[in-house]
Every structure is written in C-alpha cells, then in structure tokens.
Amino acid sequence: MPRTPKGGPTQHVANILGRMKSGERNRMLEDIAARDAQTAQTVRALMFTFDDLIRIDARGIQELLRNIDMDQLACALKGASPEIQKLFYVNMSVIIITLVFVKSGLVVEWQAWILQTFFESCY
C-alpha cells in the first residue's frame, strides 16, 4: 500500500493542485466541490501559503496589519521572501517598520532610532 504524505490525502491533493495551472486547478476544485464542498474548502485552505499574500492588494495588506500582532509579524517576516517583506514594509509607517525590525532582531534599539531619524528626515 502506498504511503500517504505528511498531512494526509487532503494535503496531498492540495500539493498536487498547487502545482497545476490555474485553469486546470480551478476545474479540478469545482469537480471536487460538486462531490464534497467541505473537502474542496479544506483543499483551498491548505493551498494558501504565506507567499500567496503577494496576491493581496495594498488595502488588504493594510487591513491585515491592523489585525495582527507585531511580534508574530516580525517573526513571520524574518523568514519571508524579499518580495513579501517589501509588500508589508511599503504598507507600514516608519515607526511600525522600526518596531518590526527591532522585534525581529534585525537591528538593535539604537540602530532603530537612527533608522527612524533617517526615514523621518528623508521622507
């Protein structure tokens, strides 16, 4: 009997669909939904990753920023791709960016103060 990948069969389906072209993926998800709406919803949720946030517009990112903990954001951005980091940073105030940098351990407090002073004087 073949082994099921970590996360079970639903995760396996999500992994496969995540590699497909969007048209094919959408057709497959529609077929799954026609048979079992709950499974289709679960597969869609499993397919969404942190890197998928790149598809959210600025307004959506700003709404997200209002509703998340900055400590958690700092940790998440520390390991994120440069594109995702930029997506968040361009939607933050200088003070929030500095706070995130400090919390993520990217700069120490006095360096954060220098950065804040620089950004405020230049922008």
Are residues 58 and 112 both part of a single domain? yes
Are residues 38 and 55 both part of a single domain? no
List Cα–Cα distances, 102 to 12, 43, 112, in angstroms.
Answer: 38, 36, 7
What letter represents residue 110's amino acid? W
- CATH number, domain with residue 111: 1.10.220.30
Q: What b/e readout covers 38-61, taking b as 16+ CB neighbours within 10 angstroms? A: eebebbeebbeeeeebeeeeeeeb
Are residues 44 and 68 both part of a single domain? no
Predicted pLDDT of residue 81: 84
Predicted pLDDT of residue 18: 81
Are residues 72 and 22 both part of a single domain? no
Identify whether 1 is part of a domain: no
Predicted pLDDT of residue 92: 87
Distance CA 108, CA 84 (A): 22
Q: How many domains does the chain have?
A: 2
Are residues 27 and 74 both part of a single domain? no
Structure tokens at 103: 């919390």
Identify whether 37 is part of a domain: yes
Identify whether 71 is part of a domain: yes
Range of the domain at 29: 8-48
Predicted pLDDT of residue 72: 86
Are residues 59 and 116 both part of a single domain? yes
Q: How high is the mean pLDDT in each 10-residue block of the chain (123 residues)?
A: 64 87 88 95 86 89 91 83 88 80 69 71 68
Identify whether 3 is part of a domain: no
